[in-house]
Amino acid sequence: MFDADAVDRITRQRQEWEANELRQFVERQPESRDECRTLSGLPVQRVYTPEDVAETPFERIGFPGQYPFTRGPYPTMYRGRLWTMRQIAGYGTGEDTNKRFQYLIAQGQTGLSVDFDMPTLMGCDSDDPRSLGEVGREGVAIDTIEDVERLFEGIDLPSISVSMTINPTAWILLAMYVALAQSRGNDPNTLSGTVQADILKEYVAQKEWIFPIAPSMRLCRDMIVYAAEHMARYNPINISGYHISEAGATSVQEVAFTIADGIAYVDEVVRSGVEVDRFAPRLAFYFVSQADFFEEVAKFRAARRIWATVMKERFGAKKPESMRLRFHCQTAAATLTKAQPLNNVIRTAFQALAAVLGGCQSLHTNGLDEAYAIPSEQAMKLALRTQQIVADETRVPDVVDPLGGSWYVESLTNAFEAEVLAILRKVDEMGGTIKAIEAGWFQQQIADSAYETARRKGRGEHVVIGVNKYVEPTAATPVEVHTVDPDVERRQVERVRAVRARRDQARVAALMDRLAQEARDPSVNLMPTTIELVKARATMGEIVARLKDVWGTYVERPVF
Partner 1 sequence: MTAIAPIRVLVAKVGLDGHDRGARVVARALRDGGMDVIYTGLHRTPGEVVAAALEEDVDVLGISLLSGAHMTLVPRILELLREARADDIAVVVGGVIPDEDVEALGALGVADVVLQDTPPDEVVRRVRAAVATRAR
- Encoded amino acid at 200, one letter: L
Q: What does the longest C-alpha to C-alpha distance in the chain come to? A: 88
| Segment interacting with partner 1 (CB under 8 A) among 38-46, 365-373, 419-427, 514-522 | 365-373
Among 76, 477, 505, 517, which residue interacts with partner 1 (rule: CB under 8 A)? 477
DSSP assignment of 347-368 equals: HHHHHHHHHHHTT-SEEEPPPT
**Sole window of 36-44, 125-133, 403-411, 519-527 interacting with partner 1 (rule: CB under 8 A):** 125-133
Q: Is 137 in the site for partner 1 (CB under 8 A)?
A: yes
Q: Is the dihedral of CA 52, 54, 60, 65 positive or negative?
A: positive
| 174: DSSP letter | H
Which window, 133-141, 300-308, 376-384, 493-501, contacts partner 1 (CB under 8 A)? 133-141
Pattern of binders to partner 1 over 281-320, x per CB under 8 A? ----------------------------------------
What is the C-alpha to C-alpha distance for residues 120 and 127, in angstroms, rounded to an integer? 11
Q: DSSP letter for 115, please.
A: E
Which position among 42, 82, 112, 121 is part of the footprint of partner 1 (CB under 8 A)? Answer: 121
DSSP class per residue in 285-328: EEEEE-S-HHHHHHHHHHHHHHHHHIIIIIT---SHHHH---EE
Q: Provide the β-strand partners of residue 327.
A: 285
Query: Is the Cβ of residue 257 or residue 307 nearer to partner 1 in the bound state?
Result: 257
Contact present, 237 and 198 (Cβ < 8 Å):
yes
Pick one of 96, 127, 134, 222: the residue that binds partner 1 (CB under 8 A).
Answer: 134
247 binds partner 1 (CB under 8 A): yes
CA distances from 234 to 36, 174, 189, 196 (A): 43, 10, 8, 11
Q: Which of residues 195-234 bind partner 1 (CB under 8 A)?
A: 202, 206-208
Q: Which is nearer to partner 1, 269 or 373 (CB)?
A: 373
154 binds partner 1 (CB under 8 A): no
In the bound complex, what is the minimum distance in angstroms from residue 203's beta carbon to partner 1? 10
Question: How far are the Cα atoms of 255, 309, 356 from residue 286, in angstroms, in the given order?
Answer: 10, 18, 14
Does 248 interact with partner 1 (rule: CB under 8 A)? Answer: yes
Q: Running DSSP on this structure, what letter comes out for residue 18?
A: I
Q: Could you tell me if 427 and 436 are in contact, meaning their C-beta atoms sit under 8 angstroms apart?
A: yes
Single out the residue of 138, 261, 401, 518 in contact with partner 1 (rule: CB under 8 A). Answer: 138
Checking 511-515 for CB contacts under 8 A at 24+ apart, the result is 511/536, 511/538, 512/538, 512/542, 512/543, 512/546, 515/543, 515/546, 515/547
For residues 335 and 361, which CB has a smaller minimum distance to partner 1 in the complex? Answer: 335
Q: How far apart are CA 216 and CA 221, in angstroms?
A: 9
556 close to 207: Cβ distance less than 8 angstroms: yes
Q: Of 274, 484, 516, 550, which one interacts with partner 1 (CB under 8 A)?
A: 484
| 558 makes contact with partner 1 (CB under 8 A) | yes
CB of 258 to partner 1, least distance (A): 17
Number of residues that bind partner 1 (CB under 8 A): 46
Q: Is 476 in the site for partner 1 (CB under 8 A)?
A: yes
Does residue 371 bind partner 1 (CB under 8 A)? Answer: yes
Which of 75, 108, 405, 458 forms a contact with partner 1 (CB under 8 A)? 458
Q: Choose one: 114-122, 402-410, 418-426, 506-514; the region binding partner 1 (CB under 8 A).
A: 114-122
Contacting positions for partner 1 (CB under 8 A): 118-119, 121-122, 124, 130-134, 137-138, 202, 206-208, 246-248, 334, 337-339, 371-374, 447, 450-451, 454-455, 457-459, 464, 467-468, 476-477, 481, 484, 556, 558-560
